[in-house]
Structure 1
Amino acid sequence: MAVKKVSPEDVSPSPTPQAEEKTARKGVSKQKSDGKAAGFCVYLGPSIRGVIQSGTVYPGGRAAVLKELSSALERYPLIASLVVTGDTLPQDRIKVKTAGNLLNVNYKKLASGRK
């Protein structure tokens, strides 16, 4: 049986697990940046007994979530302004706690019982 000599140029290194993981992460981030992923929304307002709970995470886009919350929005329309998307969640969590922002004003109105 003859043995074929292989030069280093003919051999391609097999990808390492780290390289495969990095490639997989790139695919996920592309999917998110393309907007094909469904995403999620979070309610950052105060809990209202029997209506909505603070910090609730809803799957899907903002329009779909607001449609799902239509009965709560009839009684408390300010809830809509406190439902934020996952894309803006980090900034909006800070805005809710910072005086002078619209999110903070709406949070305080709902917390005090005003509609």
Structure 2
Amino acid sequence: MAVQIIPLIKALAPYLTAIATSAIPAFTSKSEVAKSDPVVAQQIKELQDAATKNAQSLHIIAEQLQKVISSAEEATLAAQRQVATYKTLVLGSSFISVIAIVVAIYSLIA
């Protein structure tokens, strides 16, 4: 299940920061009510701070996700090399086994 999500995450990771930075200015405009009411102004400031922290957190998570994806790709390549090595060993040992069987049959006949 997680393997199917990796390409989707890989495709979306570079855009998360752009989305977050474009959403932050939406919280910066102040209406006339906010200018006159200090409670609303304080709430808007808190929302702006929360949005900024969320954007920073998204950026950090995106960077960590990219590191995880790259390490998963490296592990995949290492596993593929290991499988290729095992295939070579199996073919080589099979060939030696066939030669040993032929030699055994020849020694029984002769």
Q: Shorter-normalised TM-score: what interval?
A: under 0.3
Query: TM-score w.r.t. structure 2 length?
Result: 0.26
Higher helix share: 2
